[in-house]
Amino acid sequence: MALTDADANAVIPQRRRLALLALLAVAGERGLTRDKVLAYLWSESSSENARHALEQLLYSMRRQVPEELFQGTDPLRLNTRVVHADVVEFERAIAAGDAARALAAYGGAFLDGFYLADAPEFERWAEQERARLSADHVQALRRLASEAHALGRHTTEIDIWRQLASADPLAERAAIGLVRALAEAGDWAGALRHAREYEARLREEVPGAPSTGLVALVKRMSGERAAVHAKEEATVEAGERYVIERELGRGAVATVYLARDRKHDRPVALKMLRPEVASGSDAQRFVREIGFLARLHHPHILPLYDSGTMALQEGRLGLFYVMPFVGGESLRQRLDREVRLPIADAIHVAREVADALSYAHREGIVHRDIRPENILLESGHALVADFGIARALETAGGEKLSVSGVVLGVPAYVSPEQAGGAGEIDGRSDIYSLGCVLYEMLTGTPPFTGATRGAVLARVMTDAVPPIRTVCPAVPPGVERAILKALAKQPKQRFADAAGFVAALGQAGQTT
């Protein structure tokens, strides 16, 4: 703990004076009466000596710091216009429900390593506050983990659960959370390893503790998943043209494979619709709908190479489509690594995506699922993937998909009209989704998050967009205005077309 100036130089090194600042920082606006301060800092001194010591301490601190550190005389309050305290910022963020800001302000255990001799009441207070603030920190982490889970951000969710498990290695909830997150991300070996480490640690630290069943659970889940995976691998042949090399990833709608196109001797990304999606879709209608996408030719749109059906085991019909294999990374992967992008990079990506949307909208095709996972980055440029796939699935599946539990779209990026179930969606819905993506590139999180899909959709439809420049003050006002217009609740209040969004970002971005 230290009080430093703008150049990080220690201003007040004395421990008792720092202890007073800590007391007042936690007390906040209500402050502390002088009697309370005396009880904490001079509990073993006579009343007269304690009051004299406090007066001397306040006098000395006022001489050390030219600015007025305190407000009022009794109770005493910290002047937050002069003193910035991490604990104050942390508590404000917790009160506002802003878990991300709370974590940014949390610098570790409260007063860790700080000790004040001859002040047992202060030490007891510090221990209680340390436990309280630590519990708030854990709750903030859990909330962020839930939000990451709802958004399908596996890397972020795993990182958060690792922090929780590291902070309390014996916490069963943290162990279960990390194991589940690893398993859902496909890291079965990691999930099993952590489950074994946790149970071994528990037996060592708590002799006689019953098994949590984590290891058995992971083994059972892994075995079930391996059986399904083996079955799917055996069925994916895509005729004789494509040779599957390895799996690249799995989503709610499709499993993506790196494949070799024998006809043209080139690597491709082959996307096989998941069985529950394929069974809920009219195969001929899906192939016909997705075929319209082949006419899209634009430098920032990943083209459709091929699509079709294939016979699978047990008489099932598989649906697949093929796109170029891009060797770069997705915008989601970059955001997971960097959290926020430099302003110029974010605007560059958004303008290229908006340019692709403008072209597709003129061709009568709406994407319906713009999100970081569907924006690929290669050689400094953005490529929009899966154009119109959502529309093709809705057209080919309709109510069957809903009955089978298939959910299209990620709630953090859907427009209010999509969230409300509007039948007709036009290009302005894509503009809204792109606004969400640009908002996240600049601030590190989409405008609306929540622990469940329903909670996010409710906020999308009703809540005002949090101001961008409160999180990232460097964002030019013109860029913020353009994003807020793109995120208007009513489509008619947004840009009429993506070209308008491109133009607005171009004009505003000139000041970056």
Task: Indicate the pLDDT class of residue 351, thresholds 50, 70 and 90.
Answer: very high
Claim to verify: residue 188 and residue 283 sit in the same structural domain:
no
Per-residue pLDDT for 157 more than 50?
Answer: yes
The last residue of a domain, from among 229, 263, 286: 229
Residue 19 covered by a domain = yes
What is the average per-residue pLDDT within 425-430? 92
pLDDT tops 80 at residue 117: no
Strand duo 329-330 + 381-384: pairing: unpaired
pLDDT at 409 over 90: no
Q: Does the pLDDT of residue 1 top 80, yes or no?
A: no
Residue whose pair of structure tokens reads 């929009």 in the numeric block: 384
CATH number at 97 reads 1.10.10.10
DSSP code string of 133-191 = HHHHHHHHHHHHHHHHHHHT-HHHHHHHHHHHHHH-TT-HHHHHHHHHHHHHTT-HHHH
Residue 142 included in any domain: no
Q: Residue 130's pLDDT is what? A: 84
Q: 215 and 282 share a domain?
A: no
State the pLDDT confidence band at 338, using cuts at 50, 70 and 90: confident
Structure token digits, residue 168: 């309390």
Query: Quick one: average pLDDT of 104-113?
Result: 79
* Mean of pLDDT over the chain: 80
DSSP code of 380?
A: T
Task: Summarize the confidence of residues 46-66 as an average pLDDT.
Answer: 82
Q: What is the pLDDT of residue 8?
A: 46
Cα–Cα distance measured from residue 94 to residue 436, given in angstroms and rounded to the nearest whole number: 24
Question: 414: left (phi > 0), else alpha (psi -120 to 50), else beta?
Answer: beta
**Listed residues 170, 196, 229: the one ending a domain:** 229
Whether residue 114 is found in the same domain as residue 157: no
**How many alpha carbons fall within 13 Å on the CB side of residue 82?**
14
Q: Minimal CA–CA distance to 430: which of 490, 357, 505, 480?
A: 357
Higher pLDDT, 221 or 275: 275
Q: What is the mean pLDDT of residues 288-310?
A: 82
In a domain, 330, yes or no: yes
Q: Examine the domain organization and report whether 502 and 441 are in the same domain.
A: yes
Q: Is residue 250 part of a domain?
A: yes
CB count in 10 Å sphere of residue 456: 23
**pLDDT the model gives residue 356:** 94
Residue 397: pLDDT over 70: no
Name the one residue in this structure whose structure tokens are 């100036």: 5
pLDDT of 283 over the 50 cut:
yes
- The domain of 189 spans 152-229
**Within-domain flag for 145:** no
Weakest-pLDDT range from 76-90, 210-224, 264-278: 210-224
How large is the C-alpha radius of gyration of the chain? Answer: 28
- Looking at residue 416, which CATH number applies to its domain? 1.10.510.10
d(CA 505, CA 497): 13
Q: How confident is the model at residue 404 (pLDDT cuts 50, 70, 90)?
A: very low
How far is 79 from 83, CA to CA, in rounded Å? Answer: 6
| Confidence tier at 346 by pLDDT (50, 70, 90) | very high
Poorest-pLDDT segment among 41-45, 302-306, 471-475: 41-45
- Is the separation of the CB atoms in 61 and 68 below 8 Å? no
Q: Which residue has the higher pLDDT, 401 or 182?
A: 182
Task: Give the 3-state secondary structure of residue 255.
Answer: strand
Q: Do residue 113 and residue 223 come from a single domain? A: no
Residue 432: name the closest of 411, 406, 455 by CA: 411
48 and 180 in a single domain? The answer is no
Mean pLDDT within 137-147: 84
Distance CA 501, CA 395 (A): 28
143 inside domain: no
Which H or E run contains 324?
A: strand 317-324
Instruction: Return the percentage of the chain with pLDDT > 70, whole number.
Output: 81
Residues 217 and 268 in one domain: no
User: Is residue 378 helix, strand or coil?
Assistant: strand
Tell me the C-alpha distance between 305 and 456, whole Å: 35
CB 289 within 8 A of CB 273: no
Q: Taking the alpha carbons of 169, 167, 173, 219 in that order, is the dihedral positive or negative?
A: negative
pLDDT interval class at 428 (50, 70, 90): very high
Task: Please give the structure tokens belonging to residue 176.
Answer: 């279960």
Is residue 132 domain-shared with residue 188, that is, in the same domain? no
Residue 12: its H or E element: strand 10-12
* 280, pLDDT greater than 60: no
Residues 310, 208, single domain; the answer is no
Q: Could you report the per-residue pLDDT of 15-41, keeping only the tens digit for each?
A: 888 888 888 888 877 888 888 888 888
Q: Which two tokens stand for residue 96?
A: 């506002």
Domain boundary residue among 229, 255, 280? 229
The 10s digit of each residue's pLDDT in 455-465 is: 888 899 999 99
User: For residue 391, is it within any domain?
Assistant: yes
pLDDT of residue 413: 93
pLDDT at 236: 47
Query: What is the arithmetic mean of pLDDT over 11-18?
Result: 68
pLDDT value at 189 more than 50? yes
Tell me, yes or no, whether 114 and 173 share the same domain.
Answer: no
CB 323 within 8 A of CB 414: no
Residues recognised as catalytic: 369
Q: For residue 20, give the H/E element and its range.
A: helix 15-27
Let me know: does 245 contact 262? Beta carbons within 8 Å.
Answer: no
Beta-strand runs (E) in 216-265 = 242-250, 254-261
Please indicate, yes or no, whether residues 340 and 288 belong to a single structural domain of this protein: yes
* pLDDT reported for residue 44: 80
Alpha-carbon distances, residue 103 vs 93, 123, 193, 200 (angstroms) = 9, 25, 28, 30
CATH number, domain containing residue 207: 1.25.40
| Residue-level pLDDT at 473 | 87
Least confident of 110-119, 174-183, 262-271, 378-387: 110-119
In a shared domain, residues 315 and 192 = no
| Segment 343-371 mean pLDDT | 93
> Does any domain span residue 252?
yes
Beta bridge partners of 259: 244, 268
Could you say which DSSP state residue 325 is in?
P
Q: How many domains does the chain have?
A: 3
Q: If you ran DSSP here, which 8-state letter would residue 407 be given?
A: -
* Residue scoring higher pLDDT (333 or 289): 333
The residue written with tokens 């916490």 in the block is 171
Residue 318, SS3?
Answer: strand
Query: Both tokens of residue 21?
Result: 């600042």
